[in-house]
Amino acid sequence: MVPRLATWSILGSLLLGCEDTRLVAERGGALPLRCDPGPVDDVVARYSFDEAPGAEGFADETGAHPAQVTGNAARVEGPEGCGQAVVFPQGDPRGYLVVAPSSAFALPSGSLSFWVWLPPPPGPVFRVGILSRDATLERTKGHFTVYWTGPGYLSVRLQGANAAGSRCTARVMPTETWTHVGINFGSGPLELYINGIEENSRNEAIFVPTAPCGADTNDGLEGNANPWVFGANNDGSMDGLADAPSDFAASVRLDEILLSSQRRVFRRQAVVTTQSPR
């Protein structure tokens, strides 16, 4: 008899987008996690890092938006059952990935999700860029960056037409373990989820007084033509370029970066399940 998974009996199931079902117990409790979102129409770009980079860089699973390697980047084992991930080793040249600008990224609403493995904090005060579609100044809306800041909080900032929205974790992020991050934007409030738990309770400025944690915007990513930068912060670059990245994500690992044109349900949900033999 081979046991067959008919249903799972888990309080707090979550569709996070590996074909295999497994349990990860971190912060939010035991969660069944999926790494492969399957054939879904709303996927704009997806980076699994399971294949070595080619001439154009790491492949986008849709075939449209490769991530070009700049500097020092390598592949390592990702979350269990999810294949390979990308890591940006310490030392020079600093490594990061750049995805060329595309009108496909000008989403009025949607979601961004990814797995991240963070090293021990580099000090009490620091700023690390995780994912960024940003530029210097604030001439256009849609600028977007996910930061990891000292002493260890994760923050997301989205520049709207009239004001910036931001969300921050209430607690420092776990380190030396894989953590899932889900973000919804546009056509509704900006939302940040860590392992299926919504984070929005720390009420203080991220870097500037105009972007306190909890400030909101209903705007999306439309309004500019900036590239995506993975593994650094791009808010010092000129519009449309990645000419001055900073806050490099040394020793940070990333996997299963997925940009969607739809807001997704990242919140944990209760499900009743059973296991039956075949």
What would the 3-class secondary structure string for the chain be? CCEECCCCCEEEECCCCCCCCCEEECCCCEEECCCCCCCCCCEEEEECCCCCCECCEECCCCCCCCEEEECCCEEEECCCCCCEEEECCCCCCCCEEEECCCHHHCCCCEEEEEEEECCCCCCCCCEEEEEEECCCCCCCCCCEEEEEECCCEEEEEEECCCCEEEEECCCCCCCCCEEEEEEEECCCCCEEEECCEECCCCCCECCCCCCECCCCCCCCCCCCCCCEEECCECCCCCCCCCCCCECCCCCCEEEEEEEECCCCCCCCEEECCCCEEC
pLDDT exceeds 50 at position 14: no
Which residue did the predictor score with more confidence, 9 or 210? 210
Instruction: Return the pLDDT at 124.
Output: 87
Q: What is the pLDDT of residue 130?
A: 98
pLDDT of residue 192: 96
pLDDT at 118: 98
Q: Give 128-165 pLDDT, tens digit per residue.
A: 999 999 998 877 899 999 999 988 999 999 998 888 89
- Mean pLDDT of all residues in 95-109: 97
pLDDT at 174: 96
Tell me the average pLDDT across 89-94. 87
Position 207 scores a pLDDT of 64
Give the pLDDT band (50/70/90) at residue 269.
very low
Q: Which of 27-41, 119-133, 223-237, 253-267 has the lowest mean pLDDT?
A: 27-41
Residue ranges per structural domain of the chain? 43-265
Q: What is 43-265's CATH number, 3.40.640.10, 2.60.120.200, 3.30.70.260, 3.40.50.1820? A: 2.60.120.200
**Model pLDDT, residue 93:** 82
Q: What is the mean pLDDT of residues 118-127?
A: 92
**Which band of pLDDT confidence, cut at 50, 70 and 90, is reported for residue 33?**
low
Query: pLDDT tens digits, residue range 199-220?
Result: 976 766 666 555 688 888 999 9
Which has the higher per-residue pLDDT, 203 or 47? 47
Residue 21: what pLDDT?
30
The whole-number pLDDT of residue 39 equals: 64
Quote the percentage of the chain above a pLDDT of 70. Answer: 79
